[in-house]
Structure formats: structure tokens, C-alpha cells
Amino acid sequence: MEFTNHIHTSLSEILHNKFVKAHDNSLYDLIWLTYLVKSNNYFPILWPTLILHPNLKSIQSNLQQFFDDFKNICLFKKIDAPGKNPLLAEHLSIFHKI
């Protein structure tokens, strides 16, 4: 349990630092870290008051926040309870059966 707490503390510190620096070069890291933390319910994310990027807004609200005009395009899947989300490999698979 102590090891898990250490990992959660480290992830929390990294996430906080990424939010504080919020440069374009850390955006990819922020998107993956916030998704990882939220999809596994590691700890509550302390979101900044202003989030500009639609991918981060989507993760925060758990709703697709981009391409709103096109209802038939789904580029964001809701984050379910831990253990009920697709595996990372399934998320990244572009050639999957529907």
C-alpha cells in the first residue's frame, strides 16, 4: 500500500507541475496523465480554473468538447468506473472491428 501511495503522490506532483507550466510541449503529457488518473480514479484532479484545450476539457467534463457540430463523429469515449474502461491498446487501435 505504501508503494501505491508513493506512486499516487508522484503522479499528483507531476500533474500539478504540468498544469503550472502548461506549455504546448507538455500538453500531450497532460492529456495522458489526466486520462490515466481519472480513468483509474487514483485521486481527485485539481483542475486549473481556465482550461483552453478541448481534449483536456473533454477529460474534465467527461464529454466530447470538440467537433460539436458533427454528432455522428465520436472521438472521445466517456470514462467509466475503474476496471470498466477499454485497455490502452484498444484506445490506440485505429484498425479495430466495430
8-state DSSP, 81:
S
Question: Can you tell me which residue has the cell 476496471?
Answer: 83
Q: How confident is the model at residue 88 (pLDDT cuts 50, 70, 90)?
A: low
Element (H, E) at 80: none
Domain parsing of the chain, residue ranges: 2-92
Global pTM reads 0.74
- Per-residue pLDDT tens over the stretch 27-76: 888 888 898 899 888 999 999 888 888 889 999 999 888 887 877 877 78
User: Residues 36-67, buried b or exposed e (16+ Cβ, 10 A)?
Assistant: ebbbeebeebeeeeebeeebbebbeeeebbee
Of the ranges 3-7, 45-49, 71-75, 77-81, the best mean pLDDT one: 45-49
